[in-house]
Amino acid sequence: MTRKIVLASNNKKKLGELNDLLKSINVEVVSQGSFGVESVEEPFHTFLENSLVKARHASKSTGLPAIADDSGICVDALGGMPGVFSARYAGEPSDDARNNIKLIASLQGVENRKAHYTCVITAVRSADDPEPLIAVGVWDGVISDEAKGEGGFGYDPYFVLPDGRHAAELTATEKNEVSHRGKAVRTMLNLIKERWYW
């Protein structure tokens, strides 16, 4: 029996990644947009708080269990920025190209290019679930001035892995194996199996 969890996002790439990773436990992830649910404000300064408010909103609006993530890139030399502001680093509306231009400009003349993606995923059985499941994934790399690759999204073209490849050069399967989201989703998968008795 396939069970449904609503994703508190309308990002098709996130939806695809989550479905690829959760199909092994017969969970179908459906977007909140398919229920006519609009995004909720993300007023907090931590990935955890933003993820949780999104999951609770999606669950309350649909009556289904919900899963949400908040993720972003944290650059050491910028004190962890863009962090929770990664998607709108260059302002509204969110635009990957403008965000990347601003990030590279912010790092001109900076030697320390260490960065990491962080993903916090929360899942709730209901809007008032007192025990949300929480999973965290981190993906280390450095920021390059040069963009490479056609895959991924966000800052992936400029994010260089320890093996020298840019995140945008990975296939979807390769990315799921090593990325912050892939790590967090695998942890979440185990938490759902252990805690939700599915």
Q: Say whether 145 is catalytic.
A: no
Q: What is the pLDDT of residues 48-67, one digit of tens each?
A: 999 999 999 999 999 999 99
- 3-state helix, strand, coil split of the chain in percent (to 5) is 40, 25, 35
| CB atoms inside a 10 Å sphere around CB 69 | 28
Sheet (strand 133-143) strand order: 27-31, 3-7, 66-75, 114-124, 133-143, 159-160
* Residue from 20, 69, 70, 156 carrying the catalytic annotation: 70
Mean per-residue pLDDT, 70-83: 97
Contacts 24+ apart (CB under 8 A), 182-186: 182/17, 182/21, 182/137, 183/119, 183/137, 183/138, 183/139, 184/69, 184/119, 184/120, 184/121, 184/135, 184/136, 184/137, 185/17, 185/18, 185/21, 185/22, 185/121, 185/135, 185/137, 186/21
Q: Which residues pair with 28 in a beta bridge?
A: 4
Please tell me the distance from the alpha carbon of residue 187 to that of residue 154, in angstroms, as a whole number: 23
Whole-number pLDDT of residue 198? 61
Strands 66-75 and 3-7: parallel
Over residues 107-164, the pLDDT tens digits come to 999 999 999 999 999 999 999 999 999 999 999 999 999 999 998 889 999 999 999 9
Q: Into how many domains does the chain fold?
A: 1
State the CATH number of the domain containing residue 164. 3.90.950.10
Would you state the structure tokens that stand for residue 69, as one six-digit string?
A: 């993530």
Comparing CA positions, the residue from 185, 169, 165 lying closest to residue 177 is 185
Asked if residue 14 has pLDDT above 90, the reply is no
Model pTM score: 0.92
- Return d(Cα 97, Cα 57) in angstroms, integer: 29
Predicted local distance difference test score (pLDDT) of residue 113: 98
Domain that holds residue 163: 3-195
Token pair for 154: 């966000």
